[in-house]
Chain A
Amino acid sequence: MAATPRDAVIIGGNRIPFARAHGAYANASNQDMLTSALKGLVARFGLQGEQLGAVAAGAVLKHSKNFNLVRESALGTPLDPRTPAYDVQMACATGTEAIGSLANKIKLGQVDSAIGGGVDSISDAPIVVSDALRAILMEATRAKSTGQRLRALAKIRPGHLAPRAPGTGEPRTGLSMGEHMAITADKWGITRQEQDELAVASHRNLAAAYQDGFFDDLISPFNGLSADNNMRADSSLEKLTKLSPVFGKDLGANATMTAANSTPLTDGASAVLLGSEEWADAHDLPKLANFVDYEHSAVDFVDGAEGLLMAPTYAAARMLQRNGLTFEDFEYFEIHEAFASTVLAQMKAWESEDFCRTTLGLDRPLGSIDRSRLNVNGSSLAAGHPFAATGGRIVATLAKLLHGKPGKLGFISVCAAGGQGITAIIEGR
């Protein structure tokens, strides 16, 4: 693997349970949730009064009043107020990007300790006024006389007053993420059965992990919730096959994506503590795993040259080549389940001789991924996916899975809006 000046160690994580939108966290703000996740992390690792190198996190949907969301959240914790904090945003890759860039700072010796994470709320999404109304209000603000102000305000029409909520559509295509994914799923021939099986496995794996107490030191209760409330331990293929497709309905019989094999909109927050080996030792903290490397990619999706959520396939190819690794070298795979078909399409692409040679420019396919090593403790279909919080959930889960397995590797893939993707490598210790 690529040599770095020193290791970036994953010490541990904390998140609040993820909640289906407009449910348990309907009255919680992004700042409330992120502060809670950070406080839980601080409490778990005794960081009260500690001055860390940096806190980096973000939210995909953010109110303009939260211009300094992460700094404000950090100030609400017992951390030393002299700990710098900043916001990161890369759609659903936000959390992984925050953690990856902090790991790089640690490797370079710029900081010795850091917290990375993310938060998102659908229930408290920023609803704004229309562009036309905002233009009129701004004109009124710039007015120098009462007359000018009144003339500006007189332009307001009833149609201007309708509030605008953020949509899930890609701005440049007008298609929702689900519609984009339906096109890709159809192209790669992903079946309904495969998707439903993946969804059932996600719920069962997550439920089993809760049962085993795996999340006991990864989750702190919040607002009366102590486990992800989207989880259906009794999920079954029989139940899932009854559902009607919700995306790609114009594909007719080839419409395969349902509410069960697509991730629900969710509220939640997560945080991961990172440090140098020396810092962890000096503070007598556990060293679960190393954050080895990560990679971004973006694809040309606007006129359909590539699928919106296929960017991680490209990132993975570059990242594995750089590190001289193949899929056979990995113990666990965490592929974010934006939709079941996202995971399946990425895996099919990595298995495809043609795609890997022609499109990714590799000598041979990256190979198939053993299902028994994939999302072994559940993923977004079961846990939910509060956009920016998913990276922190995955990194903490995978680091704990690899703890006690020195040298064993874990692979992360997260797709993101705008045709982007992020992949990462974690090594157990």
Chain B
Amino acid sequence: MNDPIPIPLPKLGRLYRKAALNAVRSRLSSGGSLKALPDRPLLTEHPGITEEQAEQYRLLLEGEPFDGTHRQALPSVLLHIAGFPVQMALLSRSDFPLPLVGMVHLSNQVTHHHPVPARTPVQILARVENFAPHRRGTQVDLVLEMYPAGIDIQQTGSADLLYTSTSCYLGLGTYLYAKTESTSGPREEFTPPQKTGLWTLGADVGRRYASISGDFNPLHLSGLAGKALGQKGAIVHGMYLAARMLEGREPEGAGHRWSISFEAPVTLPGKVAFCAAPGVNKTQHFVGWNPRTGRRHFTGELNIP
């Protein structure tokens, strides 16, 4: 691993303003190039998720309280939220070749090695890897790793790794590779299974998740902004869907792996039909879809050790 660049915990507001400026600039310059990729990870110290943040999160998800006795391990999505500003800082660096506005979250894979309680300082490392062509632009993996505070991560082994998250993003419309004809076949037919749940998402879910996560992407905040950015209205954060999918199912002792792949975005307010199905080898499979149109919103799975 190249030497990480230590940075203070980034402020998301500043990053969004910079992203807006970059968006204007990229109109003029038509994006970056593959020649100069950010090859050094960013490393930041995080003071830990506060109890207040955890409480706001659980009120949004209507989950069980973090009482400090029976539930203290933070859910995976809250750890992702802790790492999100570092990811954003990486994406807004001038050597990052894809414009931040227009980045679409395609999928996320998490291995949650050890439990992390609230108010536990951690070190967060963010790096990019696996740039690859995509029929609608260029895709890239953003990797987040979390380590206990105070250790030298250059010297440490994987045993200290608390949490790894790989977020696959698509830089929509930015082709860093020769534009290729679609290699994937026709879209997979989806027949909705029997639903086991129905999520009713209010118009304010995007704003509430934003206030917890700091992800104030205007796409999630208001119908007008959503429409201006090419959606039918405000759309829900992908990680909110992951949070709903996992709520009440993550083990307190961690050690679990999960993944989610996003398809049609969920417009707010809206309803998501949900199915949780047991699978083999302690793996549960999930799927969410639009109960009216039958379009699939996401698929996911959770493996508990």
Interface residue ranges, A against B (CB under 8 Å): 131, 159, 169, 171-175, 179, 183, 186-187, 250, 302-305
Q: Choose one: A159, A174, A250, A305; the contact of B197 (CB below 8 Å).
A: A174
B59 and A183 form a contact (CB under 8 A):
no
Contacts of B200 in A (CB 8 A): 174
Bitwise, B192-203 to A at CB < 8 A (1) or not (0) is 101111111000
A303 and B192 form a contact (CB under 8 A):
no
Task: Name which residue of chain A comes closest to B203, CB basis.
Answer: A159
Q: Choose one: B59, B278, B291; the contact of A131 (CB below 8 Å).
A: B59
Counting chain B residues whose Cβ lies within 8 A of the other chain, the interface size class is 20 to 34
Interface residue ranges, B against A (CB under 8 Å): 59, 62, 192, 194-200, 204, 248, 273-278, 284, 291
Contacts of B274 in A (CB 8 A): 174
B194 and A303 form a contact (CB under 8 A):
no
Q: From residue A67, how far is it (CB to closest CB) to chain B in Å? A: 24
Contacts of A183 in B (CB 8 A): 194-195
**Majority secondary structure of chain B interface residues (helix, strand, loop or mixed):** strand
B198 and A303 form a contact (CB under 8 A):
no
Contacts of A131 in B (CB 8 A): 59
Task: Name which residue of chain B comes closest to A180, CB basis.
Answer: B196
Q: From residue B208, how far is it (CB to closest CB) to chain A in Å? A: 10
Q: Which of A131, A169, A174, A302 has the most CB of B within 10 A?
A: A174
With contacts A250-B273, A250-B291, A303-B278 known, is A174 near B194, CB below 8 A? Answer: no
With contacts A250-B273, A250-B291 known, is A303 near B62, CB below 8 A? Answer: no
For the complex of A and B, list the 10 residue pairs with the smallest distance between their C-beta atoms, beginning with the closest.
A304-B196, A303-B276, A173-B197, A174-B198, A175-B198, A303-B196, A174-B197, A174-B199, A183-B194, A250-B291
A179 and B198 form a contact (CB under 8 A):
yes
Q: Which of B59, B62, B195, B278 has the most CB of A within 10 A?
A: B195
Task: Name which residue of chain B comes closest to A159, CB basis.
Answer: B204
A304 and B276 form a contact (CB under 8 A):
yes
- A–B Cβ pairs within 8 angstroms, 16 of them: A131-B59, A159-B204, A169-B198, A172-B248, A173-B197, A174-B197, A174-B200, A174-B274, A175-B198, A183-B194, A187-B194, A250-B192, A250-B291, A302-B196, A303-B278, A304-B276
Contacts of A172 in B (CB 8 A): 197, 248
Cα–Cα, bound, A429→B18 (Å): 85
Contacts of A304 in B (CB 8 A): 194, 196, 275-277
Cα–Cα, bound, A131→B59 (Å): 10
Contacts of A303 in B (CB 8 A): 196, 276-278, 284
Contacts of A250 in B (CB 8 A): 192, 195, 273, 291
A173 and B204 form a contact (CB under 8 A):
no
Q: Choose one: B192, B194, B204; the contact of A186 (CB below 8 Å).
A: B194
Task: Name which residue of chain A comes closest to B249, CB basis.
Answer: A303
Cα–Cα, bound, A178→B275 (Å): 17
Cα–Cα, bound, A172→B249 (Å): 12
Cα–Cα, bound, A174→B272 (Å): 10
B195 and A175 form a contact (CB under 8 A):
yes
Q: From residue A42, how far is it (CB to closest CB) to chain B in Å? A: 44
Task: Name which residue of chain B comes closest to A175, CB basis.
Answer: B198
Cα–Cα, bound, A174→B288 (Å): 14
Cα–Cα, bound, A337→B194 (Å): 24
Contacts of B284 in A (CB 8 A): 303
Contacts of A173 in B (CB 8 A): 196-198
Cα–Cα, bound, A153→B237 (Å): 30
Extra contacts besides A174-B197, A175-B195, A250-B273 (13): CB < 8 Å: A131-B59, A171-B62, A172-B197, A173-B196, A173-B198, A174-B199, A175-B196, A175-B197, A250-B192, A250-B195, A303-B276, A304-B194, A304-B196
Contacts of B198 in A (CB 8 A): 169, 173-175, 179
Contacts of B291 in A (CB 8 A): 250
Cα–Cα, bound, A217→B148 (Å): 74
